[in-house]
Amino acid sequence: MDNIAGKKSALMWAVHISVALLVALWVFPTVGLFVSSFRTTDQITTSGWWNSMFPAEQTIQLRTGGADTATMVDGVYVIEGNLLTDEGGPGADAYISTFGVSSRDVAAFNAGDTAEFGDGETIFVGDDGAYIYKSPEEPSSRGQRVFVTAETPPDFTLGNYYNLLFKPGNSEGMAKAFVSTLTVVIPSTIIPILIAAFAAYALAWMDFPGRALLIAAIVALLVVPLQLSLIPLLKFHNGVGIGKGYLGVWLAHTGFGMPLAIYLLRNYMVGLPRDIIENAKVDGATDFQIFTKIILPLSFPALASFAIFQFLWTWNDLLVAKVFLIDPTQGTTVMTDQIVQLMGTRGGNWEILSTAAFISIAVPLMVFFAMQKYLVRGLLAGSVK
């Protein structure tokens, strides 16, 4: 009864739910990154992106005006101002809920109360940030510190994108890294496809001694971590004179991507109709003509599928670029390394980091959506006859 037409089995529902959960796991971080790219530093550090549409609460240390702003009223020094709008304040859109005059109790008083420091010093703080500080003695030049708990409304800005794309220093670095990344990615995607396509055709349709062993070796190479070959390969590059440069990183990405490319394309080509190949040979076509005029056009889904994987991998790569390309003396870098540098030595600038990361994934997203219709067809290569 579970297989009656029009009804879905429990297994089918489980598959659909699993796919929905996997999609959500990938979509939520992307949405969070997009939202965070428009938030200010204070908003990012005080609340998560899922709370971006709600007021954020933060406790900050502010200072009243100094002795140069004090006036004498009935023998008492008086300083008036606004903690929210004065220098260092969160702005006029915020409002104060509680405040304190000691770091041991930052929420000792509610907004609208008058707090005492001792020695006759008092301060009144309103919820709008307005304060009145009174002291029988001359205040210090630095002013009196006050701890306030302020709630700020949602704040979104395009300033992060402006600082990243147009601010001198950042814009030059990102532009140069973007060009360098394209210089790495485009050849590193095209070269392995060209070589792997020839190899896949030979393994699929040409008989020669040792073909089975080559196929087994390619499958075995799929599980070998690339980290094992980084040092030997770098030594080889230095030995032949290509060292750190674009040629070295192209060859490295080509070598690391070849096993998957050959395996994927070979499985697809094996599934093509044998009659087409045999008829072409009867008509006198050579292997090269069969490959270029028949196999390649029919294998476009598999080629596009691998191109997506290779492009995404090389675009998001940092390890291979660090080893074979990035050289501070020559100023060569890629987007992933430039984003790491934007964090600074102390790991700050989170707002710019989110913006840079979203700009970095924009190109892979466009490539993926442009070629996604070929992805499933390429992944199913050889699975259905």
**Residue 123 and residue 67 share a domain:** yes
- pLDDT single digits (tens) 46-55: 778 888 888 8
Query: Is residue 374 situated within a structural domain?
Result: yes
Query: Of 94, 123, 152, which closes a domain?
Result: 152
Instruction: Check: CB of residue 77 under 8 Å from CB of residue 119.
Output: no
Query: Is residue 2 situated within a structural domain?
Result: no
Query: Of 119, 152, 185, which closes a domain?
Result: 152
User: CATH code at 218?
Assistant: 1.10.3720.10
Residue range(s) defining the domain that contains residue 227 = 168-379
How much is the mean pLDDT over the chain? 83
Does the structure show a pLDDT above 70 at 320? Answer: yes
Q: How many domains does the chain have?
A: 3
- pLDDT single digits (tens) 219-241: 888 888 888 888 888 888 888 88
Instruction: Check: CB of residue 114 under 8 Å from CB of residue 123.
Output: yes
Q: Give the per-residue pLDDT at 382.
A: 46
Q: What are phi and psi of 272, to 5 degrees?
A: -70, 150
**Residue 209 and residue 102 share a domain:** no
Query: Is residue 205 situated within a structural domain?
Result: yes
Query: Is residue 209 situated within a structural domain?
Result: yes
Query: Is residue 92 situated within a structural domain?
Result: yes
Q: Which token pair is 97?
A: 């809920």
- pLDDT single digits (tens) 107-165: 889 999 999 887 788 999 998 889 999 988 888 888 888 999 888 888 888 888 888 88
Does the structure show a pLDDT above 90 at 357? Answer: no
Does the structure show a pLDDT above 50 at 195? Answer: yes
Residues 76-97 as b or e (16 or more Cβ within 10 Å = b):
ebebebebbebeebbeeebbbe
**Residue 374 and residue 248 share a domain:** yes
Instruction: Check: CB of residue 164 under 8 Å from CB of residue 174.
Output: yes
Q: What is the DSSP letter of 6?
A: T
Query: Is residue 213 situated within a structural domain?
Result: yes
**Residue 38 and residue 97 share a domain:** no
User: Distance (Å, rounded) from C-alpha 245 to C-alpha 324?
Assistant: 7
Q: Give the per-residue pLDDT at 384.
A: 45
* Overall average pLDDT of the 339-362 stretch: 74
**Residue 137 and residue 110 share a domain:** yes
Share of the chain above pLDDT 90, in %: 14
Query: Is residue 159 situated within a structural domain?
Result: no
**Residue 282 and residue 349 share a domain:** yes
pTM across the whole model: 0.71
Q: Give the per-residue pLDDT at 315.
A: 92
**Residue 35 and residue 99 share a domain:** no
Query: Is residue 3 situated within a structural domain?
Result: no
Q: Give the per-residue pLDDT at 380.
A: 53
Please report how the helices 335-342 and 170-205 are oriented relative to each other, as an axis angle in degrees rounded to 10: 150
**Residue 182 and residue 144 share a domain:** no
Share of the chain above pLDDT 70, in %: 92
- pLDDT single digits (tens) 251-303: 999 989 999 899 988 888 888 888 888 888 888 888 888 888 888 888 888 88
**Residue 207 and residue 145 share a domain:** no
Nearest to 173 by CA among 328, 320, 373: 328
- pLDDT single digits (tens) 50-92: 888 888 888 888 988 888 888 888 888 999 999 888 887 877 7
**Residue 44 and residue 101 share a domain:** no
**Residue 335 and residue 244 share a domain:** yes
Neighbouring C-beta atoms of residue 175, cutoff 10 Å: 12
Query: Of 91, 126, 152, which closes a domain?
Result: 152
Q: Work out whether the CA dihedral 305, 308, 311, 317 comes out positive or negative.
A: negative
**Residue 345 and residue 227 share a domain:** yes
Q: Assign 3-class secondary structure to 213-255.
A: HHHHHHHHHCCCCHHHHHHHHHHHHHHHCCCCCHHHHHHHHHH
